[in-house]
Amino acid sequence: MTVSASQRRIERAQELANQHPFAAEILGLFIPIARFQSEMSEQLGSSLRTPLSAGVDSELGREELSELSSRFESFLPVVEAHGPEQLAQQSRALHAREKEVWAELLSRSWIALSPSDPEGLLAQAFLQPYAQLLRFAASPRPAFHAYAICPFCNRKPVVGVLRQMGDGAARSLVCGFCLNEWEFRRIVCPGCGEENDQKLPVFTATDFDYIRLDCCDSCKTYIKTVDLTLNGHADPIVDELASAPLNLWAHDRGYAKLQKNLLGM
């Protein structure tokens, strides 16, 4: 039986939650959200008649917004039941609002490139399956993209990946919204374009020796890069979440994350 990408992601999250107690809380939220997203993706695939040319750079249509708003009510209890207390409270407060408020939030979050407020992040986590469906239906994009912006939805990458290529490894970036992946040069900062390797320090930690912190001393940003040549079982999205202690280490040294993931980390 073929295992879907979402199921592999869930299994990896369960594995890491058992290995790392400090990651259990955030992965305990990710797993039910991932299950919800998987079911929602299947349902939307059959209920929405989206043109193949549709994209995430335009506003949601009336049919889309109606369909999505009706499902948002089922998403919020998932966060209420499994999220950290602050996020659960935020979800409960949002759940108590009128459906018109949800529709406005989803419409606004759909076109927001980099939300930082809890409501916007919750909305984009909910909208992610639909963004992926549109990407799957769209015309193929080039595998290589010279810019550190998703060629499909124009968002910043949330994590990098190193994959075996010949005798070395090639780097790609992964969008945190539509999960698109595109090749990107290794020795260049995705935040500001810095190419001087003396200003691009790389750090690793014992617990996650296959995850690099690619930092930039010019713009003081960092992005995690999951090295699949060192750990072929890793999943970039899940392992990026689980390695939250690396975020604290980087922040203590004055680096800011290039892009938060959809759980606000």
Q: 198: which DSSP letter?
A: G
Measured CA to CA, the distance from residue 255 to residue 251 in angstroms comes to: 5
Cα–Cα distance list, 61 to 5, 56, 66, 114 (Å): 28, 11, 8, 21
The percent of residues in the chain predicted with pLDDT above 70, rounded, is 92
pLDDT at 49 over 80: no
Mean per-residue pLDDT, 100-123: 89
Measured CA to CA, the distance from residue 65 to residue 56 in angstroms comes to: 13
Measured CA to CA, the distance from residue 207 to residue 226 in angstroms comes to: 13
**167 Cβ neighbours under 8 A, 6+ residues apart:** none
pLDDT at 52 over 50: no
| pLDDT score for 165 | 87
If pLDDT is split at 50, 70 and 90, which confidence band does 143 have? low
Q: Which residue has the higher pLDDT, 30 or 52?
A: 30
Mean per-residue pLDDT, 215-238: 97
pLDDT at 205 over 70: yes
Q: Kindly list the domain boundaries of the chain, sorted by start residue.
A: 5-137, 157-257
The percent of residues in the chain predicted with pLDDT above 90, rounded, is 69
pLDDT at 53 over 50: no
If pLDDT is split at 50, 70 and 90, which confidence band does 64 have? confident
Measured CA to CA, the distance from residue 225 to residue 240 in angstroms comes to: 8
Question: Does the model's pTM come out above 0.85?
Answer: yes
Q: Which residue has the higher pLDDT, 47 or 6?
A: 6
pLDDT at 50 over 60: no
If pLDDT is split at 50, 70 and 90, which confidence band does 1 have? very low
- Longest Cα–Cα distance in the chain: 57
pLDDT at 48 over 80: no
If pLDDT is split at 50, 70 and 90, which confidence band does 263 have? confident
Q: Please report the sign of the dihedral spanned by the C-alpha atoms of residue 163, residue 247, residue 222, residue 55.
A: positive
- Collapse the DSSP code of 134 into the 3-class scheme (helix H, G, I; strand E, B; otherwise coil) and give the result: helix
pLDDT at 68 over 70: yes
| pLDDT score for 66 | 87
pLDDT at 54 over 90: no
* Closest alpha carbon to 174 in 237, 121, 220: 237
Task: Give 163-172 pLDDT, tens digit per residue.
Answer: 998 878 999 9
